Structure 1
Amino acid sequence: MRGITSLGLAVLRLLAERPQHPYEMRQRMREEGLDRIIKVTHGALYHTVEALTKAEYVRGVETTKEGRRPERTVYAITDAGREVALDRLRGLLSTPAPEYPGYCAALAFMSLLPMEDAAGQLEQRCVLLEAELAASQTGYDALVKRGLPPVALVEMRYMQAHLRADLDLTRSLVDDIRAGRLRWQPVPGGTEQEVDR
């Protein structure tokens, strides 16, 4: 297993606390709000645990069966798993990595739309960002109220900062288009080309 994914890192962190089975890990991720930053599906979680087991970063320590339910294997982190998790975490914390969000690409090609259409789409984005920011704050407040320590919530603060920055930029783009500071002219053939930025 070359690189540890975010989901793999989450699994290793949870297992560093105590041995667990995947169902319990998924519940803990929900309780801690990790499912807001990491896509956690049943299949992806089991695939990740399987890959971590194959790489010898985790190992099954016990298998239980209750009634008609399928067997559940409880996993624990290995020394190699702890080491790779710490190395990966150090790299993620210390080294900025380029991200290629779709919004950045859309902004690069925004001049294909008529200005009024682009402004309308950006206004719609503002509405959705405001709702997402409000939902994130509500989730954050609920986790604080449940007593989660601040260190367990720093990723939510990071996400909220990005949402605020996205919202601020998007609002300023709408303002610039509406005020005529950001303009582009139609190009023959029905497309438009930016002339001012």
Structure 2
Amino acid sequence: MPRRAISNTLALAVLGLLQERPMHPYEMAATLRERHKDSSFKVNSGSLYDTVESLARHAWIEPVETAREGNRPERTVYATTALGRTEFVGWIDELIRTPVAEYPKFMAAVSYLGALGPDRAADALTDRATNLTRRIAETNAVLEQTVGSGAVPRLFMIEVECARHAWEAELTWTRRTIAEIHDGTLAWPAAGA
């Protein structure tokens, strides 16, 4: 599989937004935040503008208008190009079709859970379960406000659903592991062993 000229997932978000309509970068950032996409993509102004410049440099997007409203700075509106649409669809297909090795920090930490000892491991996992429970509840509220109210089509928030399901699975594993620590079925080696 050839290496993609741009692989920053924020570029994927920009291309996705521009499938809907041409936008300027400020509107892109606001739309991503409004749709809670900032939980899927790291969105900050500097990286967004760098990403837009890179997409334009590779001819995946192009400026279609520059306008000024009142005293505000000029804003350049971008649209996707035919090449950008082709790259976007190919990239989405590849990411969905082909699992890749991702290296989540939590998995790295879990691989050394034993270093905490049973009590501290159970405490840390209990805190994680609390945080996951809160995150799931917040996500359910966002989904109700957006998709449930009909304000945003479900398809536009489907990755939030996917993330919620992953957190629910992690929460189930976390609670089961806590129970195994407490009941002794997850055994720790003897000290010095």
Distance in 1, Cα, partners of 2:73 & 2:120: 53
Instruction: Give a deviation string over 1:32-63, Cα, whole Å, max 9, x none.
Output: 22112111111111010000011111111111
Q: Give distance in 2, aligned partners of 1:181 and 1:3.
A: 47
Greater mean alpha carbon deviation, residues 91-100 or residues 114-123:
91-100
Partner residue, 1:158? 162
**Deviation at residue 146 of structure 1 after TM alignment:** 4.3
Matched, 1:177 2:181: yes
1:88 corresponding residue in structure 2? 91
Deviates more, 1:145-154 or 1:175-184: 145-154
Tell me how far 1:67 sits from its aligned partner.
3.0
Structure 1 Cα separation of the partners of residues 80 and 42 of structure 2: 21
Using the TM superposition, give the Cα deviation of residue 69 of structure 1 relative to its aligned residue in structure 2, in angstroms: 1.9
1:186 Cα deviation after fit:
4.7
2:133 maps to 130
Indicate which of 32, 56, 59 corresponds to 2:59.
Answer: 56
CA deviation map 1:53-108 (0-9, x unaligned): 11111111111123332211111111110110010001011111122111111111
Q: Tell me how large the CA RMSD over aligned residues is.
A: 1.4
| Amino acid aligned to 1:79 | A
What is the rounded CA distance, in whole Å, between the counterparts of 2:82 and 2:19 in structure 1? 10
Alignment counterpart, residue 168 of structure 1, candidates 167, 172, 184: 172
Aligned-partner residue type, residue 97 of structure 1: V
Asked if 1:149 corresponds to 2:153, the answer is yes
Letter in 1 for 2:151: G
Q: Deviations over 1:138-167 (max 9, x none)?
A: 011101214311211211110011000110
Question: Which secondary structure does the structure 1 equivalent of 2:175 belong to?
Answer: helix
| Percentage of pairs with the same residue | 37
Once the two structures are superposed, the pairs formed by residues 1-197 of structure 1 within 5 Å of their partners are: 2-144=5-147, 145-188=149-192
SS at match of 1:119: helix
TM-score scaled by length of structure 2: 0.93
Distance 1:186 1:112, change over 3 A: farther
TM-score scaled by structure 1?
0.91
**Alignment partners' CA distance in 2, 1:147 and 1:113:** 45
- Shift, 1:5, TM fit: 2.2
SS in 1 for 2:163: helix
CA distance in 2, matches of 1:22, 1:127: 36
CA distance in 1, matches of 2:131, 2:110: 17
